[in-house]
């Protein structure tokens, strides 16, 4: 992940909403889509961007995929941001 990828990923308000929902706990695409005015395939595309940026992870549970916040992805982002507070 590059920092630019993570910042581009969180620039979209729908993706920020998904991250806020996942911060409350792991969820499926259907659970996430119920709170957004976009289609389920659109939610899946937003999740792919977040996955590619390393900000969320996905785990297979039977035929479903459960998404969760990826702490290592946010840790790397926080490390980069923290350098601006130290100086």
Q: Which helix (H) or strand (E) holds 6?
A: helix 3-11
pLDDT band at 53 (very low <50, low <70, confident <90, very high): very high
Q: What is the structure's pLDDT at 1?
A: 53
Going by their DSSP bridges, the two strands 64-69 and 27-28 should be labelled as: antiparallel
pLDDT band at 64 (very low <50, low <70, confident <90, very high): very high
* Predicted structure pTM score: 0.87
DSSP code per residue over 42-77: HHHHHHHHHHHTTSEEEEEETTEEEEEE-HHHHHHH
Q: What is the structure's pLDDT at 77?
A: 84
Q: What is the pLDDT of residues 33-45, one digit of tens each?
A: 998 888 999 999 9
- Report d(CA 36, CA 18) in Å as an integer: 9
């Amino acid at each position: 992940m590059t920092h630019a990828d993570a910042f581009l990923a969180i620039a979209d308000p729908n993706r920020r909403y998904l991250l806020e929902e996942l911060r409350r706990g792991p969820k499926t695409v259907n659970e996430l889509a119920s709170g957004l005015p976009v289609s389920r395939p659109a939610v899946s595309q937003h999740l792919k961007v977040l996955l590619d940026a390393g900000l969320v992870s996905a785990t297979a549970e039977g035929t479903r995929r459960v998404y969760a916040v990826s702490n290592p992805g946010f840790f790397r982002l926080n490390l980069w941001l923290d350098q601006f507070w130290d100086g």
